[in-house]
């Protein structure tokens, strides 16, 4: 009995249950809010907000939309502070993440808007 319990705990630790759509939605909103607030901060505070956004996304594993939103946060900050090469790299990575989102993703409503904005920002910045 103890071996089975220990095995189940180990499996749950290695393979966590997928996050609910409400939780992923909350994370997306948190990341978007951090990115928005970062636009009004000085360089170091803005980067700290994007890093906080990255920490939120990391809690969900490899979620392409959340990862794309985080890359957009860094891209917008780099654009704001005129670091164009870095901004372009972040926008390209954001687009790669967003385009890799599977059909029917939990945040599919936000995906179209994020893709549209990221493509336009990439054209403008790069």
Q: How many domains does the chain have?
A: 1
Report in angstroms the alpha-carbon separations of 114 from 6, 12, 97. Answer: 42, 32, 11
Q: Answer yes or no: is 5 within a domain.
A: no
Q: Answer yes or no: is 2 within a domain.
A: no
pLDDT at 90: 96
pLDDT in tens, 29-45: 888 888 888 888 898 99
Q: Answer yes or no: is 10 within a domain.
A: no
Q: Answer yes or no: is 7 within a domain.
A: no
Kindly give the interhelix angle for 108-125 and 84-99, rounded to the nearest 10 degrees. Answer: 150
Q: Answer yes or no: is 49 within a domain.
A: yes
Structural domain for 40, as ranges: 20-125
pLDDT at 115: 92
The pLDDT mean for the chain works out to 81
Which range (60-64, 74-78, 85-89, 114-118) has the least confidence?
Answer: 60-64
Q: Answer yes or no: is 115 within a domain.
A: yes
Is the predicted pLDDT of residue 20 greater than 70, yes or no?
Answer: no
């Amino acid at each position: 009995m103890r071996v089975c319990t220990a095995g189940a705990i180990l499996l749950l630790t290695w393979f966590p249950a997928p996050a609910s759509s409400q939780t992923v939605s909350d994370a997306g909103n948190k990341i978007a809010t951090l990115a928005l607030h970062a636009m009004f901060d000085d360089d170091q505070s803005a980067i700290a907000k994007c890093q906080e956004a990255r920490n939120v996304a990391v809690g969900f594993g490899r979620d392409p939309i959340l990862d794309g939103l985080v890359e957009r946060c860094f891209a917008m900050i780099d654009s704001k502070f005129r670091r164009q090469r870095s901004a372009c790299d972040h926008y390209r990575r954001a687009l790669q993440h967003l385009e890799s989102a599977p059909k029917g993703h939990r945040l599919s409503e936000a995906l179209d808007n994020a893709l549209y904005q990221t493509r336009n920002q990439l054209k403008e910045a790069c």
